[in-house]
Amino acid sequence: NAGVMQNPRHLVRRRGQEARLRCSPVKGHSHVYWYRQLPEEGLKFMVYLQKENIIDESGMPKERFSAEFPKEGPSILRIQQVVRGDSAAYFCASSPGLAAGELFFGEGSRLTVL
């Protein structure tokens, strides 16, 4: 009965490198959400995906950030050419469907950009 699994839990990158964060939703959940939590700030919505589709990416920065949720495998949040301001905790959540009540959150991936 695994919950939402995120990896890596901690990731250190130098400026200019790429960061890939993975999220395996609760088994049977087809909806995945990514959130970012910056130091001293709240949880900010980034993107909402269903299998193979991006439903809402209104919270995604226009450049360097992308997300996917393929038919097989985990959802991936990709950050290209990272900058220090990307340092944050990135949380993934899943739900079984639209308006399905609570979101199940992972433990988060903490990205540090040196």
> For other proteins, which stretch binds (CB under 8 A), given 21-29, 60-68, 76-84, 87-95?
87-95
Q: Which of 20, 66, 107, 112 binds other proteins (CB under 8 A)?
A: 107
Q: Which of 8, 70, 73, 97 binds other proteins (CB under 8 A)?
A: 97
Q: Which of 33, 65, 69, 90 binds other proteins (CB under 8 A)?
A: 33
What is the C-alpha to C-alpha distance for residues 111 and 88, in angstroms, rounded to an integer? 5
The maximal CA–CA distance of the chain, rounded, in angstroms, is 39
What is the C-alpha to C-alpha distance for residues 57 and 55, in angstroms, rounded to an integer? 7
15 versus 44: smaller Cβ distance to other proteins: 44
Q: Which of 20, 22, 45, 54 binds other proteins (CB under 8 A)?
A: 45
What is the C-alpha to C-alpha distance for residues 29 and 43, in angstroms, rounded to an integer? 21
Positions touching other proteins (CB under 8 A) are 4, 31, 33, 35, 41-45, 48, 55-56, 91, 93, 95, 97-108, 110
